[in-house]
Amino acid sequence: MRATLGLPVLLLLVALLIVASFMLGAVPIPLAEILKIGQADFAHSFTLYQYRLPRAVLAVLVGGMMALAGALVQGVIRNPLASPDVLGISNGAGLLAVCFITLFPQSSAGAIPLVALLGSAMAALLLWLLVGRYPSETRLALTGVALAAFFAACIDFVMLLNPQEINTALLWLTGSLWGRNWVQVQLLLPWLLLVPVALLLVKPLNLLALDEQNARSMGVNVPLVRFAALALAVCLSGAGVAVCGPVGFLGLIAPHVTRRLLGSRHQLLLPGSFLVGAILLLFADLVGRVIDPPIEIPAGIVTAILGAPYFLWLLFRIK
């Protein structure tokens, strides 16, 4: 894809998918009906305003934020297999959320986002403490993978001990947009401010992509850039996970696809990843809703079905 055309085309795809997600679902609404929005005889106000619209907005925000987080992490770790999931951020959020669900089954479901966000922050802090002040790329990646595996084991352990609470926990752990509405959109909006902040890192990330020595000689404060990029990634993916649960593979695949489409320069890669992430989550949610209505398949399952083969293909190609 021509780099200059890339972003507008992706933006158009996002718009098309949003319109499609307005029209399709267990109760299809023809386009002519949707165009009656705001008129008195509009019959689908709940379905559109309270259900499909907030879900589409959330899919764009969460998909975009998780993908951007993935692009940032891959940028500083310079490993195409890195993503916030690999660093243990998502599993940290998952662990604290699952503990909370099993310890306080009677508590309100509205508290889960806050707990999950706290879990991401704790996982990131633990990672930071373990890798020390001047982390090398390998050290970060390996420690992250080890932490992620440890958290995953803890999640399994907690769920095995409390099989009756599994349903609720599993529902959140698969990553889903079901039952989310404008409340979650409001929760996410402040975090959106971090997106332009991430774009400030475009130049140093481009230099860091050469290699650490070169970047340093060009005047890049490598530890600072690394810290800033990782902190941003933690916040972005933590906020996304908090609202929708960990949506598997999104932070990994979206930056990859974007790199193939638009190249590796971060001025295109970062915004491009955001849009590709939005497209992937919109698509996954749409597929989950229309494949076997009225049953809703969580978007996280759809992304995992799409993502796992891609990940394997990637592994073989890198070898």
Partner 1 sequence: MFLFLNFRKILTIVVLAVIASYSAAATVQDSKGEFTIDYEPQRIVVLEFSFVDALAAVGISPVGIADDKDKDRILPQVRDIIGDWTSVGTRSQPSLEVIASLNPDLIIADISRHEAVYEDLQKIAPTLILPSRRETYEENLQAAVVVGTAIGKQEELEARLAQHRQKMNEYAAQLPGHARVQFGVARDDLLSLHSENAYAGGVLKTLGFENPKVSEEGAAYVSTGLEQLLAINADYLIFGYYSNPSIVHKWHAEPLWSLLKAVQDDHVYEVNANTWSRARGMMAAETMAQDLVRIFAEH
Which residues lie near partner 1 (CB under 8 A)? 25-27, 44, 46-47, 50-52, 105, 108-110, 163-164, 167-168, 171, 176, 178-179, 181, 183, 289, 292-296, 298
Torsion of CA 289, 293, 294, 299, to 10 degrees: -20
Q: Between 137 and 165, name the residue whose CB sits nearer to partner 1.
A: 165
Q: Which letter, b or e, does each residue of 36-72 get, where b requires 16 or more Cβ atoms within 10 Å of its Cβ?
A: eeeeeeeebeeebeebbbbbbbbbbbbbbbbbbbbbb
Q: Between 85 and 296, name the residue whose CB sits nearer to partner 1.
A: 296
Cα 60-66-70 angle, rounded to 5 deg: 135
Least CB distance to partner 1 at residue 213 (A): 51
Please provide residue 292's backbone torsions phi and psi, each rounded to the nearest 5 degrees.
-150, 60
Q: Between 39 and 108, name the residue whose CB sits nearer to partner 1.
A: 108
Q: Counting Cβ atoms within 10 Å, is residue 226 exposed (0-12), middle (13-18) or buried (19+)?
A: buried
Least CB distance to partner 1 at residue 196 (A): 32
Least CB distance to partner 1 at residue 85 (A): 23
Least CB distance to partner 1 at residue 169 (A): 12
Least CB distance to partner 1 at residue 58 (A): 13
Q: Between 163 and 196, name the residue whose CB sits nearer to partner 1.
A: 163
Q: Rounded distance, CA 156 to CA 148, Å?
A: 12
Q: Between 143 and 176, name the residue whose CB sits nearer to partner 1.
A: 176
Least CB distance to partner 1 at residue 242 (A): 14
Q: Between 51 and 274, name the residue whose CB sits nearer to partner 1.
A: 51
Q: Between 177 and 225, name the residue whose CB sits nearer to partner 1.
A: 177
Q: Rounded distance, CA 49 to CA 182, Å?
A: 9
Least CB distance to partner 1 at residue 108 (A): 7
